[in-house]
Every structure is written in C-alpha cells, then in structure tokens.
Structure 1
Amino acid sequence: MLSRPGAAHLPGDASWLVRERTPWLLQVLRRSPAVRARVAKSMAGARLRGRARHLATLLLNPDNAVVEATLDWLGQSASSQARALGHANRTISDLKKKLKAERQRRQYAQEEAREAGKLLDETRASMAELEERVDKLVRQLAVAQHRLQDPQTAAAALLHALERPPVPRDDAASRDPHGGTAPPERYNDVLLAASAAASLTPEELLAAVRAVVDPTPPVPRVEVVEELGLRVTPLGGDTEIGGSCLLVEAGGTRILVDAGVRTFDGRTLPPRDIERALEGELHAVVVTHAHNDHCGYVPALVAQSPRLRILATPETVRLMPMMWEDTVKVMREQDRSLASWGSAATVLYGPAEVEAAAHRCEEVPFTVPRRIGELTVELFPAGHILGAAGAVIRAGDRRIVVTGDISGFRQESVDGYTLPDSSRGADLLVMETTCCGDTHDDRELRVGDFVREVQEICQGGGRVLIPAFALGRAQEIALILRRYLPEVPLRIDGMAADLSAAFEAATADSAHPLKIFGDSVAVADRPAELDTFRTGVIITTSGMLTGGPAVQWAARILPEPSSALFISGYQDEESPGARLRKLAEEGGGNFTLPDRSGQVTVQVKAHVATMRVSAHADRRGLLNIADEVGAHQTMLVHGLPNRQRRFREVLRLRDHDTTGTALWRPA
C-alpha cells in the first residue's frame, strides 16, 4: 500500500499503517482481488504458524465470498471483544468505586475504633479513680473509728468541743434585766452540760481532759529564756517556696512548725535540712495548713517518730489525710516515670504511713493555748485557705509569731487573718514572703473582669475550662461563680470535687457553712460529659496541666474557637500550663499535652487567659502585719532571695529590725 502514489501523505511507516489503519487495510483486501493476489505472492515464503497462517489463507483467498465471510466473522469477534472489554471496564469501575467505599468505611471504622479505644481508656481511668475514692473513704472511715477508740485522740477531739467559744445569743434570756446586754458567756453549752454531768467545774473538767491530751507532768521551774535555751531554725521553705519547715527548741522540747515536701527534677523531696530535726527526739509538729508544701512530709515523720503529736485546726485535720493520699499517688507515678528512664525516685511513704499520721492528729481551735512540754502554742486565723493558721509560740517569757501562709482580705471561702493580742510585741516574727515584691490589683476588680469573661464565653455557647489547684483555689473559684453567675452550669472534677465536699462537711456546723454543690453545680460525670457538657464551666485538677482530668478536658476544649481555658495560680516554668500561656501570647498553634499513653497534640483555637486571684498577702499586706505585730526582730521565709532582700530593706526603712533567715536566738 505504501508503494502507491497516494500513500505519500501518510505520516508513518508500515508499522504505523498496520497499527493505525487496520480496518482500512482489511477493506482494501475485501475490494481488491489483485491486492490479495500480490500479498499472497509476497508472503509465499513467510513462515506463519497456527492461527496466523489460517487467517492469512482466508483473507488472501481469491474467492470474494470466502474473504467476505472471514471479515464478517472478524467484525463479529471484534464487536464481541469490544462488548466484553466494555463490560470488563464497567466491572473494573464498579469494583474501584466499591473499593473506595470500603476504604472509606475502613477509615471510619478505624477512627471509630480509635475513639472507642480512647473512650474505653477514659472509662477505665474513671473507674480507677472511683476505686481510689472508695479506698480513700474506707481508709478515712477506719481512721475515724480508730480516733474514736484511742483515748488520747478522743480526748483531743473532746477538748476541741469543750474549748469551742460559745455562740453569741441575742434573745430575752441573754439580756441584762436592768437594761443593756449581759456579759458574754465564758463557756459553751457542751462544756456546761458536761461539767454538770461530771459534777465538776468547767475549769476542773478542762484541766482533766487537757491532762489526757498532754500527759507531760509540769516541772516547777523559773521560766526564763536562758534556762529554756530558745532556738528557732529554718530547715526548709526559707529562701525557697516549698518544703516549709521550722524547728523550735526550748529546754528539752523540740517541735516543728510545718513539714512540707518540695518538688525537684520530677521527684517529691523532704524539707531540705530535715535531718537536723531528727538528730534528737521530736515531740510535735504544728501544721499551719493543709497544702502539701507545708504538711506533705508529716507521714514520713510519724513513721520515724510513732508518738509524734500533730496539732492543727479542725479543718486542717480533716483535709490533710486527703492531701497525703494524693501525694502517695503522685509519688508512685513519679517512681514509674523515672523507672522507665532508668532512674530511681524515693517514695517517702505509703497508705500505711498516711493512716498512722491521721491517727496522731489533734484538733486545736483558734485562740486556745495548747501545751507541748516546755512550749505553749496558740493558733490564730491566717486567711489563705480554709483552716489556715498562724501560731504564737511561748517559751517562758519569750514569744515568737509564725504567720504561715497569710492573707488579710476576705475571700469567698475564708476571712482574712486575725492577730491575737498575744502576738503584739513578740520577740520574733517569722513571716512568709511569697508575694513580698507584688502589689495586687483590687480584688473586686479582678473578680469582676474574670466573671465578665466567663459570662461572655458561656453566652456565646462555649465552655470554660479552669485547671486549678485542688485545695483552696478550686473551691474559691467555684464559690465566686456560684455567687455571681448562679445560672451558669458548673462541673467540678477530680480531687477538687472530693475536697469541695470536705469543705462543706468541715464547715457544716460553723456560723458560716460553705455551700458549693447544688442547683447548677455538680460533680462532673466523666467521661460522658467530656463531649456532652457543651456550655458552662469545668473546674478540675491539675492546676499546671501536668496530668489528671484537666488534660482530658483540655484536649477537647482547646481546639474549640468558641471556648476558653483560664490558667489560675502559680505555674512552674517548665509546666504545660506555663508553655500554654506562652503559646497563647505568641498567637497560638499546636500544643502538646501529657497523656496516660504518652502525649496528645491539639491545635489551640480556644481563648487562653490568666485568672489572677492570689491567696497570699502582697507587699502592703505584709507590711501591715509587721506593723501590727511590732516584733523586736523579723525573719523572712517562704520566698525568693532577691525579693526578700529588697523587702528586708523596705522593712528597715519602716524601722523594723530584721534578722537573717538562719538560726535565731533571743538577744
């Protein structure tokens, strides 16, 4: 065909012609017997085999009828093949669609499986938490039963009830018949009834019960400080925040004011110089309040001194065992984490030591002196958190005042400090300095700003997460919201919920009982409400986002543009809370949260803010305390060295004589 003149315009060679023009070539063979004859002649020497040879014989046959029949058969075969190919293509297309659908279904199933696995993990974690809570309640019940059976512990509880100040009455029976109001009662109704039943005067009954509480017989002596050898030595929490511990010695009596733990490099550690306290017999530890940096080491002390007395306010006695239980849990988690890195942590104590320490606790009401050998301790309200106390300690005719953590402003959960007359003109004032370099804004303004922001988020259909410290901060925030936004649903989760219930129980019989739960406030139903609680406020632990329920809530809330997370309280520089605050200041982005199974990364779209409501006295408040006490000398503790140095200079300018944060003896 290519030899014909008309083929000159064709773009290709013989291979192209066969590949691109096969139907045309077959039609030429059909119409031209001469072409068939020429092709047959040219292929006479070709060696064709099988079907190719038979097909060539038929197509090149001189009989037109044979060629026609062959081409018809080829056409039908091609059509059949085309139909088969079309069917195959359609089948392949359908299978591809089904495969795509199955892949999508598999992806959905995998996502659902992941979500189900996540929900299962969260449910297991919640069940484990519930089991822990049940175990804690069982241990608390055992402690309460033991306290009822132990004579000295029962006597301490009885003494607290007998020493409680009488409730002021304003009725006709309490009025002076000649006008005015009768003098206030000296004794409460319980003491009067008990003394009458025992046929003793109130003073005789109190003396008898006090003798059981403190069986140390009085030794006649001339009470002068030189004989008693009064010494005050900071053993921790002096130029740092954490591990608070103060050793007070007089005569043969040695007591500690606080024994807290501190955290360093992923470990829970005792007070820095606690070994010095253990060089001799310890008679008691006076705990100012239930925060772990003030009380967390007490169970370890009881393990080493089984007869150690533990004195604290009734509220602190109720709260401390719960904090100790949590410390045991934290130390075990630290131990597992450090073990995975080939390092070892020291677990300071376990549940048995917590139970033993709880048995040794004695309730001491405010303003009622309690004798401990050569020393007398009087507690006074310090504000800060529920049950927080300062202490006036007498040694003969000398007095020292220890503020503990202190604040002078009224909070929702507790009033400010009240200094007793016995504190005025003390020989030494040991004063905390957490915020000695700060001047706090007006509290009502800060609370108002916080409430307005929460209200805006909730009115916009979002939810607010507030990771908070379980003791004190969580309850204070809950009470603020209950007061100003009673219509907003509020959930309290984790240990914060247990401690909130303890706040209610501890104040139930007081003149001002705290009501946290009820109406729109309830314990969070986790994990169900992680996704179903869509509008409202969640308060939960931990305050630094290092673990606990706060991480589960944050993983869901941080990606929500309409929601918010409020960081409250102090944040360690390396804590997730501090990192989140810095990320928010830089405009947001991806954030990694710690998780039980490792880490989880979320995109931060929620509003991140800081709630600044301190429970410590600021510089002005501390100066007021120093002025009110008017001590001969002042020692600064529980703060940072640079800030203490500047604050010491301020005190000097106000004519306050200061002493170094070290061993002190009266001049």
Structure 2
Amino acid sequence: MNLTIYGAARQVTGSMHLLQVGQFKILIDCGLDYEKDRNIQANEDFPFRPEEIDVVVLTHAHIDHSGNLPTLVRLGFNGQVLCTPPTADLTELLLLDSVNIFMHKADKGRKHRRGKGKFNTAAQPLYLQKHVMDAMDRFVTIGFNRPFRINGDIELTFIPVGHLLGAAAAVFKVNEGGTERSIAFTGDIGRKNYPVLDDPQQLPPVDYLVTESTYGGRLHTKDKTVEQALVETIEKACVKEQGRLIIPAFSIGRTQSLVYSLNKIFSSGLLPPVKVFVDSPMATRATQVFRKYHNLVNQEAQEFYNKQGDEFEFENLEYVESLKDSRQVSNYFEPCIIISSAGMLEGGRIQDHLYYNIQNYYCTILFIGYCAKGTLGHRLLRGDPIVHIKDRELAVYATIKQTDVLSAHGDHQDLLDVVKHQDKTRLKNVFLVHGETSSMQAFADAVESEGYVVTIPEKGIKYELN
C-alpha cells in the first residue's frame, strides 16, 4: 500500500491524495488549487493519467476538495465518485457556481484584451456546465457508518466529522497479501457545539492517519458563545447606532449556521426585531439541501424545529433572489442585517453592498471566516484606509470587525483530540496536510510531544505503508 500527497501538501488548498493498493488506485479528494489562481489552467496538469484512477472518494463538497473533479472527468477519468448524499447535492451547487466564476473571469479577460491584437486571447474556463454534469453522473452515495466494499480487498466507511453537512472522514480497511491495514483521511474536521452540525465523531483505531492541520497552533475564542458575539455586534450596529450590519458569509454551511443563530436570538427576545436579508441565490438553494437532510442536523436544531418550526425561517427574514431585488436592498434605510457571499469579498453580490456602504459611518462589516492573503477581505481586515471596489478607489469609513465564533474548522485542541483518540502503540504515522507551513509545524510538534510519529509530506513523494 502506497500513499502520495499530490495536493494540500504544505499548503491549504487543492486537496488530492493517491492511495494505491497493488494496481488499484484511489484518489481521495480532487480539489482546486487556489495557489494556481493566476493560471487556473495549471489545474489541468495532473501528476498522473486521469484514466488510470479507479475510484475517487470525496470527503466533502468544498471547492478546495471537489472543484477539480470535472477536469478529471473531462481528461479521461471514468470511474465512480463515492461520497455521502448531502455531499453530492452540495457539490453540484458549488461546481456549477465555479463554472459561472470561470465564465465571468473569461469575459473580463476578453474585455481587458480587446484591441490588443489577435494573439491576445483570454484564459478559457477550466470546465463548463456539461463537464460538471458528466462528473455528477459518476457520483455514488453512501450513508455514514455503513461499510462499503470497493472491491474484494478494500472496504470504505464514512465517519461524520462536522465542518459541513455531509462532511466525512474516509476510513479504509485494506487486505493486502493476507495482512489487514487501515488508514483514515480526515478531510476537514469540524468543531464541537457548532450551530446546526453534529460534533465530529471519533475515528476508529487505524494504522495510518492523514489529517488536516488548518488551525494548528491556534485556538478559537472561548469566552463568548455564537449568540453572545452576534448579540453584542448587532446591538451596537443596528440598535444603538440604528445602522446596518453587513456579514460576508460563504453560501453553503456558514450562512445556514448564521441564520439559525439569528433565529434563536430573535425568537428568544434577546434583541428587538431587525430586518435580515440573505442575498445569495446559492445560499437559498443550499438551505433547501439542509432541509432535505434534516435528519443529519444536530439534536438541538431538530428540537428547535419540533418546538418552533423551520430553523431557517423567521419573521423579518427575507431571502433575496433576483438581482433587481438585490439592488433594492440598498434602498432599505431602516436598520438591517445583510448576509451575502462571497466570504472573502472576491466576487458575488457582496461587492455591490460594499460599494454602496464602505463609506457609510453607520455601517459595520463583520467577518466570520478566514480571508486569504491578497483578497479584498484581507485588505479590509489589515486596516487599509482605501480599497479598490468595482473599478473605484474608495475610502473605508465603515467599522470593520471580525469574530471566529462561526469558524467551521476545529482548532489546535480539536485536531489534537482526534489524534490522541488513536492508540499510539498501533498508529504508525500521522501525515499532516491542508495547512500553512507554520500551522503544520506547530501541530506536528504537539503531536510528537504526545508520543506519535509525524510526517509533513512533500508533494509527489510516495510513502510505503507497511
């Protein structure tokens, strides 16, 4: 049995790991590598022949784990993609949205190059809607904690890990030459007591563990609950200052947890009623997926539903669909909360709301997620006094705030708990992926201090798992 880390090696994005058992090749995740954003076509350069992959196992829907699947299919992969049912539904939404992003960038590129000569061509989309649907045709869904035999020698079980509806660790039992070994890939690990989602389930004992390390060396804020942090911000921005609160939020996962938290706040009377706009068609569609798989939300959310009704609907909440209605939100002059995508401000309707409010002294912008370096969100968080939005340089007069109470990633201690649950006399090696180098090293030091063997793998190096 061999393991090769081809993506998210000493970086965060582009998760892609190859597990080879004899001649049988399993690809765990096939994500877009955002490090290649300057040349999106670089994601076509697979370090293997796509047609040689026998099966893909997808841990969850986020684009840095699923976003290159249509390219893999377009270039020759013809096997099955195995995942949980919610992951299949959410992946389709995200992949179709990726097509829209590719097309938008291609259109901008063509306009930018217009008149610069016939040899100046814009970058082509990495894939089209047809390729997404071709990829979705290959999906086969498996429920949580239900062993699935991939072939006579390999068994797969999905273990729920929180983080996102349907997200799973992939645990393999492999019989090779009469010897049984096991390996688990965590995907992204969620945190405990997160709105809507169940706590991560402990993994069974394994011989090898491939784990994310996004928050290695960092701890989440523990002094406030989600509701306390939101009440504090809303009370100041919308009640005392009678202004507006803009919350950039990823449409899938983060928005649903935020809406549910707001529902609890307003239904319990912690704050007077405030108008809430969810301005993201994808968030609306993703919420339907959450409703479809309501049996998979956590016990608290299910009890809320039984007592008070739909946790994603409440008085003064409006889901904004059309672009025309979205523009009308800017004409709403009463105190309000606007939830819109994208979370890092690099596209989507959130840019319109920023354009019209970044110079508003009575506007607060609350970041509830990670913003990568180079993004507009990162520039605002570091305190840039002037930012570029929609071809204009605008001074920043709005109040900029950030909280990590709605981060869907487990922190350093959550990750360490996953490893410490493993039998150190059995676990032969812990491979760290999906993290910045400093985070990986901090987490590696902590894991080693607990008596485990740790490897921070280099991209493309094959590791023999004996």
**Match 1:417 to one of 176, 200, 216:** 200
2:411 is aligned to 618
User: Counterparts in 2 of 1:275-290, with a 5 A limit?
Assistant: 275-276=47-48, 278=50, 281-290=52-61
Considering only CA atoms, is the larger Rg found in Structure 1 or Structure 2? Answer: 1
Give the TM-score normalised by structure 1.
0.61
| Aligned match of 2:270 | none
- Number of the residue aligned with 1:528: 328
Secondary structure at the aligned position of 1:464 is classed as strand
- Counterpart of 1:651 (choices 447, 451, 455) is 447
**1:272 CA drift (Å):** 8.8
Counterpart secondary structure, 1:635: strand
CA distance in 2, matches of 1:442, 1:270: 40
What is the alpha-carbon distance in structure 1 between the residues aligned to residue 132 and residue 336 of structure 2? 36
CA distance in structure 2 between the partners assigned to 1:591 and 1:349 by the alignment: 31
> What amino acid maps onto 1:517 in structure 2?
E
Q: One-letter code of the match for 1:554?
A: L
In 1, the alpha carbon distance for the partners of 2:39 and 2:314 equals 38
Mapped pair 1:640 → 2:436: yes
Pair 1:385-2:164 in alignment: yes
CA distance in 2, matches of 1:518, 1:501: 15
The whole-number CA distance in structure 2 between the counterparts of 1:578 and 1:493 is: 21
Question: Structure 1 pair 443/235, CA: closer, same or farther in 2 (3 Å)?
Answer: farther
1:405 aligns with 2:191: no
- The structure with higher relative contact order (CA 8 Å, sep 6+) is 2
8 Å CA contact 1:379, 1:392 repeated in 2: yes
Question: CA separation of 1:446/1:518 partners in 2, compared to 1, >3 Å: closer, same or farther?
Answer: closer
Superposed CA RMSD:
2.3
Equivalent residues of 1:390, 1:402 under 8 A apart:
yes
1:263-287 CA-partner distances (Å, limit 9, x unpaired): 2344435669733253x62221111
- CA distance 1:269–1:464, shift in 2 (3 Å): farther
Consecutive unaligned residues in structure 1, runs of 5 or more: 1-229
Pair 1:548–1:231, CA change in 2 (3 A): same
- Does 1:485 find its partner at 2:278? no
Q: Which residue of 2 aligns with 1:627?
A: 420
CA gap of 1:394–1:574, structure 2 versus 1, over 3 A, is same
Greater fraction strand = 2
After superposition, residues 246-645 of structure 1 pair within 5 angstroms as 246-263=17-34, 264-268=36-40, 274-276=46-48, 278=50, 281-305=52-76, 307-339=78-110, 340-341=112-113, 342=120, 344-373=122-151, 374-396=153-175, 397-420=180-203, 423-424=204-205, 426-442=206-222, 444-445=224-225, 447-460=227-240, 461-486=242-267, 487-494=273-280, 495-507=282-294, 512=302, 515-524=311-320, 525-532=325-332, 534-583=334-383, 589-593=385-389, 595=390, 599-613=391-405, 614-630=407-423, 631-645=427-441
Contact 2:7 2:33 in 1 (8 A): no
Partner of 1:665: 464
Contact 2:212 2:432 in 1 (8 A): yes
CA distance in 2, matches of 1:575, 1:488: 30
Aligned to 1:192: none
641 and 272 in structure 1: CA distance in 2 versus 1, 3 angstrom threshold = farther
Distance, in Å, in 1 between the alignment partners of 2:20 and 2:70 is 21
Instruction: Work out whether residues 409 and 415 of structure 1, in 8 Å CA contact, stay in contact via their aligned partners in 2.
Output: yes
Please tell me the residue identity of whatever aligns with 1:390.
Answer: A
Tell me how far apart the structure 1 counterparts of residues 422 and 76 of structure 2 sit (CA, whole Å).
34
**Which consecutive segments of 4 or more residues in structure 1 shift more than 6 A?**
508-511
Residue 456 of structure 1 and its aligned partner are, at CA, apart by 2.1
Residues 1:526 and 1:615: Cα distance change in structure 2 (over 3 Å): same
Q: Give per-residue Cα distances to partners, 1:108-139, cap 9 Å, x unaligned.
A: xxxxxxxxxxxxxxxxxxxxxxxxxxxxxxxx
1:490-531 Cα distance to aligned partner (Å, 9 max, x none): 111123233223322332787737631342222123222221
Does the C-alpha gap of structure 1 residues 277 and 246 become closer, same or farther in structure 2, counting only changes over 3 Å? farther
Distance 1:407 1:508, change over 3 A: closer
Distance 2:71 2:219 in 1: 37
Per-residue Cα deviation, 1:524-546 (whole angstroms, up to 9, x for no partner): 23222221253221111111222
- Displacement, 1:238? 1.9
Contact 1:378-1:392 within 8 A present in 2 as well: yes
CA distance in 1, matches of 2:434, 2:379: 25
Q: Is the 8 A contact 1:450 1:611 kept in 2?
A: no
Matches of 2:438 and 2:224 in 1, distance apart? 30
Structure 1 residue 445: Cα displacement:
4.0
Separation in 2 of the partners of 1:433 and 1:509?
25
Distance verdict in 2 for CA 1:434–1:272, change over 3 Å: farther
Contact 1:283 1:372 (8 Å CA) reproduced: no
Q: Distance in 1 between matches of 2:387 and 2:235?
A: 26
Q: How far apart, CA to CA, are the structure 2 residues paired with 1:575 and 1:610? A: 15
Give the deviation of 1:610 after TM superposition.
Answer: 1.1
- Provide the C-alpha distance between the structure 1 equivalents of 2:59 and 2:127, rounded to a whole number of angstroms: 21
For 1:238 and 1:306, how far apart are their aligned partners in 2? Answer: 23
CA contact (8 A) 2:24 2:54 kept: yes
Q: How many residues align?
A: 426
Aligned to 2:5: 234
> Which structure carries more helix by proportion?
1
Give 5+ residue unaligned stretches, structure 2: 114-119, 268-272
Partner secondary structure for residue 202 of structure 2? coil
Shift of 1:465: 0.6
Q: TM-score normalised to the size of structure 2?
A: 0.85
- The residue type equivalent to 2:145 in the other structure is T
Q: Is this contact kept in 1: 2:263–2:311, CA < 8 A?
A: no
Q: Cα deviation per residue 1:376-400 (whole Å; 9 max; x = unaligned)?
A: 1100001111111001111111100
Structure 1 residues 377 and 305: CA distance shift in structure 2, 3 A = farther
State the 1:427 CA deviation.
Answer: 1.3
Query: 1 CA distance for matches of 2:218 and 2:101?
Result: 31
Deviation at 1:343, TM superposition (A): 6.0
Distance (whole Å) between structure 2 residues aligned to residue 522 and residue 579 of structure 1: 30
Conservation of the 8 A alpha-carbon contact between 1:256 and 1:286? yes
User: Measured at CA, do residues 375 and 509 of structure 1 come closer, stay the same or move farther in structure 2, by a change above 3 Å?
Assistant: closer
